[in-house]
Structure 1
Amino acid sequence: MWNHKTHGIPDEEFFRTEDVPITKEEVRAIQISKARLSEGDTVYDIGCGSGSITVEAGIQIGKSGKIYAIDIDKNAIELTGKNLDKFGVANVELILSDAKQKIPELPPADAIFIGGTGGDTKDIVTLCNDKLKPGARIVIGVILIETLYAVLDVIYKLGLSDVDIIQVTISKSKKTSTGTMMLARNPVTIISATKT
């Protein structure tokens, strides 16, 4: 159980496996902040992976909110379920599906997180635009330059506003036999925008 109001649950608190990605805690904290969540919101977590965004967003929106966590990978859905149980987050519907098939069936959203999409990010952003309520936020984390370009292209074509692009490079300390060194993680670009 996470007994704090701040986001950024340490990565080591989550159940993890090598084959299922996790949004690292510092990047996750920024993404949660960019979504501007409120109590009672409806949220999608597309490409939920290990469920770290799902857990943290679930805590932020409270019991009156609802999250739809979608992943095409059965292992990711199972791992997200384990993490939801560990942190006592019950306001989530886990969906094992191709997001492009499931998004049209979901209710309107106050915030949408898009993570790992297997190269379909541009199409998923387009589908999500139809589901965003006016004033709702979309937050997309990307690591590939090609994905960044495709996402920005579609965001501007859709007319989303308040577009914010940041790149985050995190280094974490690691003890060695002679002291402490900083190990760099891969840069992540976070794009966030508002439905007008």
Structure 2
Amino acid sequence: MSYFPGIKDEDFIRGDIPMTKQEVRILVLTKAKICPTDTIIDIGAGTGSLSIEAALQASSGKVYAIERHPEGAQLIRSNAIHFGADNIEVISGSAPEALQGLPIADVIFIGGSGGHLQELLAQSNSLLKPNGRLVITAITIETLYDALHSMQAKPEFTVEAFGMQVTRIKQVKSSNMLQALNPIYIIICTKGI
């Protein structure tokens, strides 16, 4: 099976767990600059949509998908089998505790913090290689503010951020309807040497 970034949302096995949408995944993956041998940690992996695409890009690397909800962890496993991504290790547990014992990473995604953002940012700093990328997706103003405030205060990081709003167009009979997705903010933090 050929892989191209931006797998359709409907191709994933889904449950009641939130999923990073296709358009967001494309931008996050672009900013993460994943190489084939990279080690990636996905904190708050949800259904595993981002973990799956990261694993397919890092075909000779490894993805550690951390998810605290048992249903989400099972969905990640099912999606990994569905897409043939056998380089994913699912860690069922809450971060930051679930980060213990993980190797140094090239890329870390934070998609959910469970109220532990500051601890996750500190732990991510110690787990990230020089030139590594930390990519945070925020759906709340508080997460956006806290992540920017914390990471911009660290001189070893270069920080960029942007917000995006996606509106899909769906054909309904002879008309086209606009369907807005929730706005999201993406913070990219690149660690210096």
TM-score (norm 2): 0.95
In the TM superposition, what whole-angstrom CA distance separates every residue of 1:92-140 from its partner, at most 9, and x where no partner exists? 1110111111223211000001102222222211111110000000000
How many residues end up aligned between the 2 structures?
Answer: 192
Which of residues 163, 173, 177 is equivalent to 1:177?
173
Q: Is the Cα contact below 8 Å between 2:152 and 2:158 reproduced in 1?
A: no
Q: Is the Cα contact below 8 Å between 2:41 and 2:66 reproduced in 1?
A: yes
The residue that corresponds to 2:143 in the other structure is 147
The residue that corresponds to 2:65 in the other structure is 69
What is the alpha-carbon distance in structure 2 between the residues aligned to residue 123 and residue 150 of structure 1?
A: 12
What is the alpha-carbon distance in structure 2 between the residues aligned to residue 160 and residue 22 of structure 1?
A: 31
The answer for unaligned runs of 5 or more in structure 1 is none
What is the alpha-carbon distance in structure 2 between the residues aligned to residue 15 and residue 181 of structure 1?
A: 26
The amino acid across from 1:31 in the alignment is V
Residue 8 in 1 paired to residue 6 in 2?
A: yes
Residue 31 in 1 paired to residue 49 in 2?
A: no
Matches within 5 A, 1:70-85: 70-85=66-81
In the TM superposition, what whole-angstrom CA distance separates every residue of 1:26-62 from its partner, at most 9, and x where no partner exists? 0011001111110110000100000000100000011
The residue that corresponds to 1:48 in the other structure is 45
What is the alpha-carbon distance in structure 2 between the residues aligned to residue 132 and residue 30 of structure 1?
A: 21
The amino acid across from 1:86 in the alignment is H
The answer for unaligned runs of 5 or more in structure 2 is none
Q: 1:178 Cα deviation (Å)?
A: 4.0
The residue that corresponds to 1:194 in the other structure is 190
- Range with greater deviation from structure 2 (43-52 or 158-167): 158-167
Q: Is the Cα contact below 8 Å between 2:29 and 2:54 reproduced in 1?
A: yes
**Measured at CA, do residues 126 and 165 of structure 1 come closer, stay the same or move farther in structure 2, by a change above 3 Å?**
same
Which of residues 126, 138, 157 is equivalent to 2:122?
126
Q: Could you say what secondary structure the match of 1:76 adopts?
A: helix
Greater than 3 Å deviation, 4+ residue runs? none
Q: Is the Cα contact below 8 Å between 1:48 and 1:115 reproduced in 2?
A: yes
TM-score (norm 1): 0.94
Q: 1:157 Cα deviation (Å)?
A: 2.4
What is the alpha-carbon distance in structure 1 between the residues aligned to residue 145 and residue 119 of structure 2?
A: 13
What is the alpha-carbon distance in structure 2 between the residues aligned to residue 149 and residue 75 of structure 1?
A: 30
What is the alpha-carbon distance in structure 1 between the residues aligned to residue 29 and residue 173 of structure 2?
A: 36
What is the alpha-carbon distance in structure 2 between the residues aligned to residue 127 and residue 161 of structure 1?
A: 14
